[in-house]
């Protein structure tokens, strides 16, 4: 079964653009790092008005999705190490992280045409 590890900006973008990632990927196939939860909670407390609302929606949507603790350190490094060792596809909008992921031979879940999900 394919597993998808989704980061903060991917989740926020999906909600802003009304992309139903839960339907497309299946709740049981999604993994959310605890660092993403902490980041979303921080945005909900201290972000712009729109971002606060989006973060709140994301947190509600992923409430019953599997969360994992990737450990301590820089989140991007933790995501790459986890993905390399666990054969997951990473969903991110971060161009720098996407380049690093591709360089490590990890597959990426991309959003194309602002509405479609595609595995690269």
pLDDT in tens, 82-103: 999 998 999 999 999 999 999 9
Q: Which residue segment(s) compose the domain that 57 sits in?
A: 4-119
Structure tokens at 93: 């909008």
Question: What CATH number does residue 97 fall under?
Answer: 3.40.50.1010
Total number of residues shown for the chain: 120
**Number of structural domains, the chain?**
1
> Does 115 have pLDDT greater than 80?
no
DSSP line for 86-111: HT-EEE---HHHHHHHHHTT--EEEE
pLDDT in tens, 39-62: 999 999 998 888 999 999 999 999
Q: Are 84 and 104 in contact (CB under 8 A)?
A: yes
Q: Strand order of the sheet with strand 30-33? A: 66-68, 30-33, 4-6, 89-91, 108-112, 116-119
pLDDT of residue 120: 79
> Does 114 have pLDDT greater than 80?
no
Q: Is 30 exposed, middle or buried (0-12, 13-18, 19+ CB in 10 A)?
A: buried
Share of the chain above pLDDT 90, in %: 78
pLDDT of residue 119: 85
**Mean of the per-residue pLDDT values of the chain:** 92
pLDDT in tens, 63-75: 999 999 999 888 8
The 8 Å CB, 24+ separation contacts for 39-47 are 39/8, 39/75, 40/8, 40/11, 40/12, 43/8, 43/12
> Does 108 have pLDDT greater than 90?
yes
- Provide the total of helices (H) and of strands (E) in the chain, helices listed first: 6, 6
């Amino acid at each position: 079964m394919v597993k998808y590890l989704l980061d903060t900006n991917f989740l926020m973008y999906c909600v802003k653009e009304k992309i139903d990632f839960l339907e497309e990927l299946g709740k049981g196939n999604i993994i959310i790092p605890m660092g993403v939860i902490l980041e979303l909670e921080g945005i909900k407390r201290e972000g712009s008005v729109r971002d606060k609302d989006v973060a709140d929606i994301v947190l509600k949507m992923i409430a019953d999705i599997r969360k994992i603790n990737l450990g301590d350190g820089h989140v991007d490094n933790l995501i790459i190490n986890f993905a390399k060792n666990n054969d997951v596809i990473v969903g991110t909008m971060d161009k720098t992280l996407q380049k690093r992921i591709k360089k490590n031979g990890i597959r990426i879940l991309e959003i194309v045409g602002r509405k479609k999900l595609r595995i690269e």
